[in-house]
Amino acid sequence: MTMVQALNSALDVMLARDPDILIFGEDVGYFGGVFRVTDGLQQKYGAPRCFDAPIAEGGIIATAIGMGAYGLRPVVEIQFADYILPAFDQLASEAARLRYRSNGEFWAPITVRAPYGGGIFGGQTHSQSPEALFAHVCGLKTVIPSNPFDAKGLLIAAIECDDPVIFLEPKRLYHGPFDGHPEQATRSWAGHPAAEVPEGYYNVPLGAAAIVRSGHDATVLAYGTMVHVALAGIAESGIDAELIDLRSLVPLDIDTIMASVQKTGRCVILHEASRFGGFGAELSALVQERCFYHLESPILRVTGWDTPYPHAFEWDYFPGPARLAAALRRVMED
Amino acid sequence: MSGRLPLQLHIPMPLSRPGQSPRFDHINLSAAGEVRRPDPCTPEREVRDLPQLLVRVLDDAGRAVGPWNPVLPDGILMQALRAMMQTRIFEDRMFRAHRQGKTSFFMKSTGEEAIGVAQALALAPDDMCFPTYRVQGWLIARGYPLVDMMNQVYSNAHDPLKGRQLPVMYSARDYGFYSLSGNLGNRFGHAVGWAMASAYKGDHRIALGIVGEGTTAEGGFHEAMTFASVYRAPVILAVTNNQWAISSYAGIAGAEETTFAAKATGYGMPGLRVDGNDVLAVWAATCWAAERARQNCGPSLIEFLTYRAAGHSTSDDPTRYRPADEAAHWPLGDPIARLKQHLIIQGLWSEARHVQLEAELQDEVRAVQKEAEAIGTLGQSKPPLDEMFEDVFKEADWRLIEQRRELGL
């Protein structure tokens, strides 16, 4: 399956399993979503299970929270993560805190799906990676898959989770892996091991990172599209780096990260979001605090620049494999 | 272009400021009994006159008149009176407790007691209210333990919200009272979603969302109205227009040229404008909208016209921005006094019995306050510290476990 098909399959499986699950968002109903993730679901399950919403992100999240408080498990879509900010107050002030402030009387078991990330000439408002905004909010979980198998399993786990989950989907990976080489022909998921996706129910637990490539010389921390870029960058560097796909930012699999960096002694963090105050800063601080005496070089961050995501400068902005390879060489020199 | 005056920016201003005579002549009032009561399922296009009128039941003499008279049993009226009086006494004591340094903050609903009380009694026990911080009467009318309200205000060891919340930000699921927070207007949409969920499940429960008139300016108001209308959610959307949002008068929220009830028209739902100091009118309008919702006829918007007789909060001094005696000139009077008068002319009540009830309630609240203060006031007592780390998530992750350990727990 492609990632789109895997996500669609997760929603299909969960709609069939639990009548309290319903889906809504802009264009997700009859049309099946602008990226086809909800394709066919309204026809299969009926309009009340999968329906179109007004163009009001705050309203989508607000009503989802109310439904969650009632006892439903809404899975809502924000068409682009760039457009999630009108709902930020609802997510940060309400969904995230409802359980805490009510001493567990009310909670919001909602899943918020949003395509994110660049590499598609999406310009400023179809490319952003806002994960740090959510990871910083106490009470939210933030999950980012990097392949079809994880996408389905993590989405099922997110829907089953009783806490609110921000589920960011790397739209650059919807139809195939992308290693950061735009000059090469577009690849499909066909033949990729992680594209072997079971038809039925399974889940990938939140809070468990995956070691994508074992190595001894350095640790690369990445998620989403950057997992594929990291593989290419490691290959180009010729350095035997270990690659960890975080899969969920919150909860974070700190044990896997620590074990790896304590083994390798070097750490490079790769994300597409801009650098200053990004999630890489948290990762860097955690590694520094916990692996200080194992570190043999400074932790480096390879990230998007601290600019809005530009259109014409797509590949100057996008942190591609060459930049990761350079960072790996640098940490090895120290 | 010559001949044109330069543009001028318009800044709405209230008719009177401190030191001036209170004026309310800009507020259109209908006579009690004057406004028609259409069938609750009447299409919106046939009730577009109602948002400019004012639904009232109690006339100046205290008689219940007109088609909106809910004709309530005497026992219910007494229950409402008692809850309204208890709310006022409770709030006065808590306000004083703040002045005595026993808590950090408090908010009163003085003059608005009829709204929460009537709604709490008129709606079904399993309906859900999405309140503002000025609806304490709901909890009191439904018999929520006063001592728990006080424990919440004092953030003491028995605080039902474990010391996590600012005073008056109650949560009482079993009493149909949704968790409050300080972010205005956010929960208006939750009410709509909750109502949509009830419809989705084929249940019979309805939701009541409440905002103040100032909060109608928030985007969340518009979103909630849109979603309620689009999905015909079984929800009552209420605007408590108490004329003041802290120091800003209702004109700053958009009421100079229209009413808040009239906003309903643009969303295709009926708008009622109701005397919020008339407990019978509040009751009748709430039941009308509830009936509409329960019959799958969709949402409605009710503007409850009232007056915020006290300051915004313990941190506010209203004499800085409005005439000190403005409340006394409010044309819709005081909700407790009006119900009392109604009961007296019916022969159900007397001044003497009213004084006696007032004294009884004072004693009762004082006794409860002693009980709460024996547990502790703010800073004298608090819930177990490890509660600070609970309920962030269903299960604490390693960060919370480590941070708890950092505090030596």
CB distance B189–A99 less than 8 Å?
A: no
Question: Cα distance from B245 to chain A (closest Cα, Å)?
Answer: 21
Which residues on B lie below 8 Å from A162 (Cβ)? Answer: 394
pLDDT at A40: 98
pLDDT at A334: 73
- Nearest chain B residue to A19 by CA distance is B201
- Nearest chain A residue to B218 by CA distance is A58
pLDDT at B1: 56
Q: Is the dihedral of CA B30, B31, B37, B38 positive or negative?
A: negative
DSSP string, B318-343: GGGTS-TTHHHH-TT--HHHHHHHHH
Query: E strands within chain A?
Result: 21-25, 50-52, 73-77, 111-116, 141-143, 165-170, 210-213, 218-222, 241-245, 248-250, 267-274, 300-304
pLDDT at B49: 97
Asked if the C-beta of A92 comes within 8 angstroms of chain B's C-beta atoms, the answer is no
From the list B187, B200, B224, the residue facing A59 with the nearest CB is B224
ipTM over 0.85: yes
Tell me the average pLDDT across A34-48. Answer: 98
How many C-beta neighbours within 10 Å does residue A316 have?
A: 9
Measured CA to CA, the distance from residue B293 to residue A69 in angstroms comes to: 19
In the three-class reduction of DSSP (H, G, I as helix; E, B as strand; rest coil), residue A47 is classed as helix
CB distance A163–B226 less than 8 Å?
A: no
* C-beta separation of A171 from A116 below 8 A: yes
pLDDT at A36 over 60: yes
CATH topology of domain A3-195: Rossmann fold (3.40.50)
Question: Cα distance from B338 to chain A (closest Cα, Å)?
Answer: 36
A126 is catalytic: yes
Q: What tens digit of pLDDT does each residue of A309-321 get?
A: 999 999 999 999 9
Among B166, B178, B196, which would you mutate to test the A interface (most chain A Cβ atoms within 10 Å of its Cβ)? B196
Count helices and strands in chain A by DSSP H and E runs = 12, 12
Q: What tens digit of pLDDT does each residue of A72-118 get?
A: 999 999 999 999 999 999 999 999 999 999 999 999 999 999 999 99
Question: Cα distance from B326 to chain A (closest Cα, Å)?
Answer: 35
B-contacting residues of A 285-324, CB under 8 Å? none
Tell me the average pLDDT across A161-185. Answer: 97
Report strand pairing: B128-130 vs A50-52: unpaired
CB distance B394–A67 less than 8 Å?
A: no
A-contacting residues of B 208-237, CB under 8 Å? 219-220, 222-224, 226-227, 230
Cα angle at B206 between B254 and B204, to 5 degrees?
A: 155
Which residues on B lie below 8 Å from A143 (Cβ)? Answer: none
* C-beta separation of B210 from B252 below 8 A: no
In the three-class reduction of DSSP (H, G, I as helix; E, B as strand; rest coil), residue A168 is classed as strand
What is the interface size between A and B, counted as CB pairs within 8 Å? 143
Tokens representing B278?
């008339």
* C-beta separation of A234 from A241 below 8 A: yes
Whole-prediction pTM: 0.98
Backbone φ, ψ for residue B374 (5° rounding): -70, -30
Asked if the C-beta of B398 comes within 8 angstroms of chain A's C-beta atoms, the answer is yes
User: Do the first three CATH levels of A3-195 and A210-333 match, i.e. the same topology?
Assistant: yes
Residue B24, Cβ density class (10 Å: 0-12 exposed, 13-18 middle, ≥19 buried): middle
- Helix/strand/coil (H, E, C) string of A80-100? CHHHCHHHHHHHHHHHCCHHH
Point out which residues pair with B207 in neighbouring strands: B128, B235
Measured CA to CA, the distance from residue B322 to residue B320 in angstroms comes to: 6
First to last CA, chain A: 43
CB distance A101–B398 less than 8 Å?
A: no
- Nearest chain B residue to A88 by CA distance is B186
CB distance A254–B392 less than 8 Å?
A: no
Architecture of domain A210-333: 3-Layer(aba) Sandwich (3.40)
* C-beta separation of A110 from A164 below 8 A: yes
CB distance B173–A67 less than 8 Å?
A: no
Which residues on B lie below 8 Å from A140 (Cβ)? Answer: none
Asked if the C-beta of A102 comes within 8 angstroms of chain B's C-beta atoms, the answer is yes
- The mean predicted confidence, pLDDT, of chain A is 98
Backbone φ, ψ for residue A6 (5° rounding): -65, -40
- What does the domain layout of chain A look like in residue ranges? 3-195, 210-333
Tokens representing B353?
């019995």
How many C-beta neighbours within 10 Å does residue A199 have?
A: 10
Q: What residues in chain B have per-residue pLDDT under 70?
A: 1
- Nearest chain B residue to A140 by CA distance is B393
